[in-house]
Structure 1
Amino acid sequence: MKGLLQYNDNRIEIHWDTSSYMYQQLLHHISLKGVANNIGGEVFFYQYDLDIEFDGNQKEIFDVGDVVYWRSPKEKGKFGILFMYGNTSYRDGTKPRTSSPGIKIGTFKAISEMSNIASDTALELI
């Protein structure tokens, strides 16, 4: 993957943690496409074929600018890529928090651009 999130005619640069187990697993997917969900503090898109087991480094509290791989603990076959741009509804008061554990797989710096991505926008990681 090149490290770009593409939406409409825009691109946001992603800096992958190339040393992580999760990133190595993502390399098996040429591109990841989905539809944005912007829930305030987080833009995410579901992936239904991205079944990667956690490696023991999962957590719920992240930093603004983190890219996170997430898997539902309740619904089998439901996975996602999350872009944390601010405090979420699950926040702990100081940092973004996910609804259930995830693993950081990268970072991005275009915080204001990410916050402006509307729900239902087509996204593609390339």
Structure 2
Amino acid sequence: MYSAENYLWGWVAYSAGALCLLFCLWLLVRKIGIAAIRHIILLLATVALFTPVTAYRDDPHLAPAFFVSLYEGLLASGDDMGFQRGLAPIMAIGVISILFYLISRLIISRIRKPGSKAAPEQTQQAE
């Protein structure tokens, strides 16, 4: 078994690689005209890459849920739940993050509307 320090350095290396992947994804989707679609794609990719679960059922150390799900789904046999142990947290956090994103977009759009309408009126009055 690995020590806590080994897991920490593993997460550091994994995070650096995942951030590089997210940067490449951003380069691919930055030309999409609708900002909400761009944001949701990047949000779901971030959730899929950075959601943690316990590496083993009896071990408190965390590992990326994507790889735990892939490992248990493809290689583990027996009465294990397979993909479900890593996929369920990814799906739950994905849904919650999309809901938070949509709520924040709604709040920001409500805050910006009065301010954006007041600015042209002030410029017209100044003339």
Larger radius of gyration: 2
TM-score (norm 2): 0.22
- Whose RCO is larger (CA < 8 A, sep 6+)? 1
Whose strand proportion is higher, 1 or 2? Answer: 1
Whose helix proportion is higher, 1 or 2? Answer: 2
